Chains A and B, each alone.
Chain A
Amino acid sequence: MKTVLAVVAVTVALAAAAAAQGTGEDPAQVVGAPRGPRLEGPALDARAKEIAGLLRCPVCQGLSVGDSPSTMASNMRAQVKDLAAAGYDQEQILAYFERSYGEFVRLKPPLRGVNWLVWLAPAFGLLAGAAVIAWALRAPRLVADAAPPTGAALPGPDTLPDDPSLARYVLRVRERAYGWPGGMAPRPDAPPADTV
């Protein structure tokens, strides 16, 4: 009787172990024991969907496993769901697929080695750009003076401002607005300006 019970117990244990193994490979051998709690129901669905969005479908071009309609993607989604249900966390599940497919399968570049460049580059760009603007705004050429010019510095009809670039500007305005060739007021006896 005890022998029979022992045999039954061992058989049951073996069967349970076999069932737990599924088709043979235990993911814990690859990524370690599950680090998170077992999930089920809507929490499981949400977590599986989130992780499926981070895996690249290897047979499609650029789509995530979550978005891809292909059969391979739906198999991968099922595998993601099984792993999440067993309590593996996001990094473990991603690492499991990375073992088989390479870093290629992760849509979000993991933070290691040279990948830091792509994550930090935009921040560097922002700082660099802001620095350039700050420098440009400080350069006296570009930024307006604190107080606008008054009195003698303003041009009259027969005078031009001292500043040469300002003078050129005034001449051009007169040329365009009044049709004065070269921006100089025509002499009373001069022929009329060309119709343009």
Chain B
Amino acid sequence: MTASAGRILILLALLVSAAGAMAGFAAGRSGSAAGWRVTRGLAYAFAALMAAANGLMVWALLARDFSVSYVAHVGSRSIPDWVAFVSLWSSLEGSILFWGLVMGVYVTVATRANRDRHPEYMPYACAVWLACGTFFSFLLAGPAQPFLTVPNPPPDGPGPNPLLQNHVLMIVHPPFLYLGYVGMTIPFGLASAALLRGRLGQDFLRPLRNWLLLPWIFLTVAIVLGAWWAYEVLGWGGYWAWDPVENASFLPWLTATAALHSALLTERKGVLKGWTVTLVLASFLLTILGTFMTRSGVFNSVHSFTQSAIGPTILGFLALALVWSVWLLATGIDRFSTEGRLEGAASRDGMFLANNLLFVLFTFTVLIGTVFPLVVEATKGVQMSVGRPYFDRMAVPIGVALLLLMGVGPALPWGRATAAQMKAALLPPLAGGLLAAAVGAALGVRQPWTLVALSFGGYTAQVTLRELWRPVARRRALGAALGEAVLDAQVRRGRRRAAAYVVHAGAALAVVAIAVSSTMGTSKELQLREGDTATVGAYTLTFVKAEELREPHRSALVARIHVARGGRDLGVLTPRMNQYESQREPVGTPAVRTSLFEDLYLSVMNIDPGQGTLGLLAMVNPMVAWIWGAAAVMALGGLAALVPSRGVAPAAVRAGAPSPASSRVPAQG
């Protein structure tokens, strides 16, 4: 009953989205307002149907209705309700269903916000969105059906993968990831519309930019949440292993960041429209590639869902989307008008180009590294690996170069600069760089790359602070009070600019924190008996006892460890090994004590309460919490940039049609 209702909803969603896509393309060609209205209605209907299907599934999961195939697959009577709710996205079919929900919400908001604007673009954009919606509905109706009827419903189910029940971050990481991934569909549609029209006007750049920024924020948070989750759950003490699925989430982030910068250049100078649009299209295409990598079973990964028939279908859609994008670019790119000119390399324009070069290079490198084993397999039949050592070797120079660029770029002026201007812009922040390097060296940093990262970080920090201060100083020079100056410069008028610098500050902090945490940690493998004491870093660990713990859905072997530092008692940490009923292998949960400057990380390697022995991996990881904090800063900066700044209202200037001689457009900070 529930299963059939779900199937009907999905089928309707498929029909509605297909109809909406066709209506949108027709409305775009004919320019009919009625056609646009119909398209909008179909878009809202698609969203409503997806929401209903998801609601039905959540109800079935909570009610433990094992007649629904997905519930029989991941549901269980012995799991708490919040786990049952979260299992909506824990396995393949449910995750596609959730994808549909997020897409419906995005399409609704984007359509509604623009229902009276950009009439020459919107029907096309909506059509493209609904075409993507059609594909995902098709997946749900065909290869990845969550609502199959189970003829003899079992009394109980296996529950979701235990790794996914281990930590609260599992609740938040996938939704953010979907908000980021699915969100890239919206700018894809907008960019497609621009290419179909052969125009990308200034007015349309704004929604394109904003609808790229929103998923970018979610994706930034999602990637860092994934790293945080891996750190807190997997027990090897690191947060990024360049696993194919981690790379899948990272690739669209890289191109989207490049696109955001390119869009800024397009907005300022009216150049590089085709390139910006290419990057936007690439960001979406990489999310489809990423979905394929996660679900097809082709890649050997920590993260892979089970192999299924869904792979070829997604590959087919990827092929379609790729060909569509290439065709659009080939036919549309020459129709874009170039309205301005770039300055040469030694200006901020040139630095934007350098930014794009580095981000695209980064994308290319990560993509090549991830796909290369497949190439070798297909051509030579040899199985080989491209692992962390390769990616680290490539990522470090690029990351450090980007860190420097975040300082040099904003320091340089927009136009062609004289030698004196360049000296005045580029030399003073060296002080910040030297200071940071000196502090690092004093604290024991000896690795060359880490010192370089620290010095570049200090340089960039000084530039960023200086740029944040400049508009405030200018207003103060004109007589404003400090508070008023800050409010006006950073909150009222220059919000986008200030927000961008906040994001840069967060990014610089993240790069430096990653550099320090990867190179300045200590780690020890300890074999302890009950009562033994050991030291790692500045911490003294005492293994008190190993005990067994029973919980409703799992049993655990817990090691109680007293932690002290410098004589001060810091409490008890309890890393554990969990044994879930449905799994043969136990799953370890590390214990992490986070403080401002470092984490104490304890992970159980082997434990025996009967003998009172413990094999413990003890690590001190510096500056890890700063990575999570930096990501929050980036996200907040991004959100601040989304809120529109109060610019010069055209209506205020219009009264009396002033002549150009008497009116002045205020200078931007």
Contacts and interface: CB of A to CB of B under 8 A. Distances in A.
Direct contact between A and B judged by beta carbons closer than 8 A: yes
Contact of B654 (A104, A113, A178): A178
A128 to B, nearest CB: 9
B300 A143 contact: no
B154 interface: no
A178 B340 CA distance: 21
Nearest to B345: A137
A108 interface: yes
A68 B617 CA distance: 11
Nearest to B300: A61
Interface residues of A, number: 56
Interface stretch (A9-17, A27-35, A115-123): A115-123
B566 interface: no
A177 B665 contact: yes
B238 interface: yes
Contact of B353 (A114, A126, A133): A133
B229 to A, nearest CB: 16
A187 B136 CA distance: 55
B342 interface: yes
B657 interface: yes
Interface in B576-617: 588, 603, 605, 617
Interface in B322-364: 337-345, 350, 353-354, 357, 360-361, 364
A163 B10 CA distance: 56
Interface string B274-303: 000000000000000000000000001111
A28 to B, nearest CB: 26
Interface string B198-234: 0000100000000000000000000000000000000
Interface stretch (B18-26, B379-387, B432-440, B538-546): B379-387
Interface in B617-669: 617, 650-651, 653-654, 657-661, 663, 665
Contact of A137 (B238, B342, B387, B389): B342
Contacts of A105: 385
A29 to B, nearest CB: 24
B654 A62 contact: no
A68 B588 CA distance: 12
B342 A67 contact: no
B650 A130 contact: no
A141 interface: yes
Nearest to A110: B384
Nearest to B577: A69
Contacts of A169: 270, 339-340
A53 B237 contact: no
B384 A64 contact: no
B300 A62 contact: yes
Contact of B368 (A63, A67, A106, A122): A122
A178 B657 CA distance: 6
Given A61-B302, A122-B368, A130 B357 contact: yes
B301 to A, nearest CB: 5
Contacts of B379: 114
Contacts of B357: 126, 129-130, 133
A137 B650 CA distance: 34
Contacts of B394: 122
Given A129-B357, A141-B338, A178-B657, A108 B387 contact: yes
A186 interface: yes
Nearest to B524: A45
A115 B343 contact: no
Given A61-B300, A118-B368, A143 B353 contact: no
Nearest to B383: A104
Contact of B337 (A104, A121, A165): A165
A125 B365 contact: yes
B32 interface: no
B369 interface: yes
Interface string A26-57: 00000000000000000000000000011010
B657 A185 contact: yes
Contacts of B353: 133, 136-137
B650 A177 contact: yes
Contacts of B267: none
B416 A109 contact: no
Interface of A: 53-54, 56, 60-64, 67-69, 74, 102-109, 113-115, 117-119, 121-122, 125-126, 129-130, 133, 136-137, 141-145, 157, 165, 168-169, 172, 174, 176-180, 185-186, 193, 195-196
Given A122-B361, A142-B341, A196-B651, 12 more contacts: A61-B243, A63-B302, A74-B605, A103-B383, A104-B385, A119-B390, A122-B368, A133-B353, A142-B338, A178-B654, A178-B663, A179-B651
Closest 3 CB pairs of A and B: A107-B387, A67-B236, A108-B389
27 contacts: A53-B388, A54-B389, A61-B300, A61-B303, A62-B244, A64-B387, A64-B388, A67-B237, A104-B383, A107-B385, A107-B386, A107-B390, A108-B387, A108-B390, A109-B390, A114-B380, A117-B372, A125-B361, A141-B338, A142-B342, A143-B341, A144-B342, A145-B341, A168-B337, A177-B650, A177-B663, A195-B651
Interface of B: 202, 235-238, 241-244, 270-271, 300-304, 337-345, 350, 353-354, 357, 360-361, 364-365, 368-369, 372, 376, 379-380, 382-390, 393-394, 416, 588, 603, 605, 617, 650-651, 653-654, 657-661, 663, 665
